[in-house]
Homo-oligomer: A and B are copies of this chain.
């Protein structure tokens, strides 16, 4: 492109980037018309309309999304746990001691339930053994390979195919309206970053998540980041507003979650001064996805359901509001 064309286009493009007129909501094709879809588009139109009392300048249009259960499925286990279990099998030949050592012994016999009966401690041991002890580049390559090859036990689809089509459309719709979209997940930050840009259009620098400690080293004259088997940060519950403040340094104006682990993120977003929008994705569709809330061990939504009612947050009903859940349907 010639320099003079650029000089001509630049002001127009900048105007476009900050332009106030909302894009059409036509892009939300997998959303059924109804009060919930309307609550989203009404809010976006209101805060992006020049001269509106509720106008929010582009740099402050921060929208945060939980991942597990909000952008992709999380049943019957968090997908990152499937990743860890797959890794245990791959790594087992190098760890003969695992044959007699729990939770690995049960896992290698195919007894996932038995392995996870050790609770959080067992899960942590599995995660540490499979997520550390290598460089950041090596881990990145392992995740990329797994995402390309592994399949979900129930659907038989790749895990990254099990993202919610309406939410992918929502991410795009918000970005088209000047929002910067972030993932703020209890899942591992480095487990998500290798694929969020391709799948969600969310680049690595806009992913916030849990993390292990890392350390910089010079190895044969080259810099490497090594992954250390210690927890650095848990991006869940009250950790979510903390992660948001540390990474983004701006208070979000829109937040989407699906569980009690997202409650504080929604509270932080929707008790700001000025307009804000919070929504829970409610898993109500046992046929196309899963139906669960108050009594689920994964993605429990109890306190959040009460607070959503008390604060008039939007409760997205998967069964009623989404004409399609997964793109492959």
Chain A residues close to B by CB (< 8 Å): 1-3, 6, 9-10, 12-13, 15-17, 19, 21, 23-24, 59, 136, 180, 189-190, 193, 197, 203-205, 207, 211, 214-216, 218, 221-223, 225, 232, 238-242, 245-250, 264, 267-268, 271-272
Set of chain B residues within 8 Å of A272, measured between Cβ atoms:
223
Q: In whole Å, how far is A84's beta carbon from the nearest beta carbon of chain B?
A: 20
**A21→B9 contact, CB < 8 A:** no
**Contacts known (A19-B6, A23-B6); A264 close to B205, Cβ less than 8 A:** no
**B3→A9 contact, CB < 8 A:** no
**B3→A249 contact, CB < 8 A:** no
**A215→B238 contact, CB < 8 A:** yes
**B59→A203 contact, CB < 8 A:** yes
**A16→B10 contact, CB < 8 A:** yes
Q: Can you list 19 A-B pairs, Cβ within 8 angstroms, ordered by A?
A: A1-B16, A1-B19, A3-B23, A6-B16, A9-B9, A9-B13, A13-B17, A59-B197, A59-B203, A189-B246, A204-B248, A204-B249, A211-B246, A214-B246, A215-B238, A216-B264, A216-B268, A223-B264, A223-B271
Set of chain B residues within 8 Å of A268, measured between Cβ atoms:
216, 223, 225
Could you tell me the distance between the alpha carbons of A103 and B205 in the complex, rounded to whole angstroms?
Answer: 40
Could you tell me the distance between the alpha carbons of A264 and B217 in the complex, rounded to whole angstroms?
Answer: 9
Could you tell me the distance between the alpha carbons of A276 and B264 in the complex, rounded to whole angstroms?
Answer: 41
Q: In whole Å, how far is A215's beta carbon from the nearest beta carbon of chain B?
A: 7
Set of chain B residues within 8 Å of A239, measured between Cβ atoms:
216
Set of chain B residues within 8 Å of A246, measured between Cβ atoms:
189, 211, 214, 232
| Residue with the greatest number of chain B CB neighbours at <10 A, chosen from A13, A19, A211, A232 | A13
Set of chain B residues within 8 Å of A1, measured between Cβ atoms:
15-16, 19, 21
